[in-house]
Amino acid sequence: ERGRERETDIDDRYGDLDCRGDSDVPEIPPSLDRTPEVLQKALSGLSSRWKNWWIRGILTLTMISLFFLIISMGSFMLMLLVLGIQVKCFHEIITIGYRVYHSYDLPWFRTLSWYFLLCVNYFFYGETVADYFATFVQREEQLQFLIRYHRFISFALYLAGFCMFVLSLVKKHYRLQFYMFAWTHVTLLITVTQSHLVIQNLFEGMIWFLVPISSVICNDITAYLFGFFFGRTPLIKLSPKKTWEGFIGGFFSTVIFGFIAAYVLSKYQYFVCPVEYRSDINSFVTECEPSELFQLQRYSLPPFLKAVLGWDTVSLYPFQIHSIALSTFASLIGPFGGFFASGFKRAFKIKDFANTIPGHGGIMDRFDCQYLMATFVHVYITSFIRGPNPSKVLQQLLVLQPEQQLNIYKTLKTHLTEKGILQPTLKV
């Protein structure tokens, strides 16, 4: 009887939520102002417009300084930073879903959301370990088992969560539970997949991480400044404060910044060399002979530029030309990630994803454009940059059984002999 009473109570409590329309979405209470008291007192005499400008400016400089500090600590710390940002963004979006749909009391759902996050991260980062740490894995028998059956283990873990979700379904609010199930999976797609691509870009060389990330940051800052001081013409209804003046000013500033940043970073192996794992020293290394992308080349200028500059040729790093494509995307298409986030927040009647950073909102508010940029950079590298990587092929060969390695050796030797690269072996 108690079980039936409890089920009836749950049905009455949640049954009407399945029929709600968009106009019935409750407004989430505004976030508390977390600006430090020191800043509040120092800026108390300013108008709200200028007060917000100074708070955003001070916090922006602080975050940039911390970012430089983490860069100096190396690639591994940057990976941990990306992972931390991913978890925080997931938390912010999932929390909005809980608040909007009043789903705190849905059985097991909060636990399942974090369980699915763990499963998806296990799958993606396990793939990365198998790809980049093959020589290390080969020495550890336990890791060999995990890597060999990694996809099966990942699927089994996800399947367990799927079954737990089905068993948690409660009568008369099935639709609400499926809303939240879909919400969780879309959030995973946005956060985990994109953060995994960021780390993949980082393994290609820190420059493929820093130039896109800094281009988006530069565009965000310069578009805000141009809009703040010169903005008159509204750009898009989803973001009333965005202006054409800010959009155009941000574009030109970002392209120039990306071009200069590419020139500076291309000089240093620390930034241009792919991140590789050295088994002999058991550590990441960023030492290599820079590829042609990061070696100065002479380029002939078009006639109209020759007339303006008086130069016939110019020395550039090829990566600087690629940086124009990256910074153009960051300034023209990247902002649509922010517009998408603005539409999302308007749909659920919230100002920011959270109040983590005073003057900025949540972590997701700062990284809404970065996720779109990460996908573009990954597609750009695979389409126009990345060729066969001999080191990765060698790592995969070392994992094979001796018989398989010998067969590959014989096939390769025959192929090279037929092409005339190797001299045929004389049989006695």
Domain locations in the chain as residue ranges = 42-339+368-388, 389-423
Local structure of residue 384 (DSSP, 8 states): I
Bridge partners of residue 53, in order along the sequence: none
Instruction: Render pLDDT for 186-238 as a digit per residue (tens, 0 to 9).
Output: 999 989 988 999 988 988 899 999 999 999 999 998 998 899 889 889 988 88
* Residue 320 to residue 262: CA distance in whole angstroms: 5
Average pLDDT estimate for 255-274: 94
- pLDDT of 17 > 60? The answer is no
Chain centroid to CA 378? 10
Residue with tokens 């991260």: 121
Task: Mark residue 290 as left, alpha or beta (left: phi above 0; alpha: psi -120 to 50; beta: remaining).
Answer: beta
Higher model confidence: residue 307 or residue 3?
A: 307
| Lowest pLDDT segment from 9-18, 110-119, 134-143, 173-182 | 9-18
Instruction: Render pLDDT for 25-80 as a digit per residue (tens, 0 to 9).
Output: 555 555 555 666 666 666 666 777 777 777 777 888 888 899 889 988 888 888 89
**HEC states along 117-150?**
HHHHHHHHHHHHHHHHCHHHHHHCHHHHHHHHCH
Polymer length of the chain: 428
Closest CA to 161 of 207, 205, 113, 123: 113
* Residue 276 to residue 285: CA distance in whole angstroms: 5
At 135 the pLDDT is 62
Closest CA to 376 of 423, 330, 332: 330
Q: Give me 424's structure tokens.
A: 């045929």
Q: Distances in Å between the alpha carbon of 301 and those of 23, 172, 261, 264, 305? A: 58, 70, 21, 21, 6
Instruction: Render pLDDT for 26-35 as a digit per residue (tens, 0 to 9).
Output: 555 555 556 6
